[in-house]
Amino acid sequence: MNMNGSIAISVVVPFVLLVLWFLVSLKLAHRKDAELNQLLPETLSYKWGYFLGYSGVIGAAGIAVTAAAVLVAGLGGGWLLAVLAYALLFGLASYGVLMRRKWGWLFHIPLSLNPGLWAFNSVYASNRWQELARQG
């Protein structure tokens, strides 16, 4: 394989994986929100929370698998353990968001490492705070 083919693969494969990650998370979020709406019709839609939860869990699993493969291949440095720890923490926080738990939001917002999402998700979570408190 020539250099151009390697570069194309190194761009196309991650792009396809990101698109699949997005679409799978979106599909699962819509399905889970429909289940919530059927179970509790008076509850507001939680599509964004489910999307964040699913995309975070899937993304954290992908990062953990990739980091573990790099570690096994002997290519990683000391930073790799930090990446694995972050993936674990972010995956747990995403699971909390997916399960509609306040602690999930409290940890997910700062762990997203995105100031735009910090602002948006802080407003979204605060609008749901009472509803999430009733759930337990």
Task: Dump pLDDT digits (tens) for 113-132.
Answer: 999 989 998 888 888 887 77
C-beta separation of 93 from 59 below 8 A? no
User: What's the pTM?
Assistant: 0.86
Nearest to 135 by CA among 48, 38, 36: 36
Phi and psi, residue 9, nearest 5°: -65, -40
The string of pLDDT tens digits covering residues 56-104 is 999 999 998 988 888 888 887 778 888 889 999 999 999 999 999 999 9
Question: What are the structure tokens assigned to 65, written together?
Answer: 């698998």
| Angstrom distances, CA of residue 75 to CA of 67, 69, 72, 78, 136 | 10, 9, 8, 10, 44
Phi and psi, residue 77, nearest 5°: -110, -160
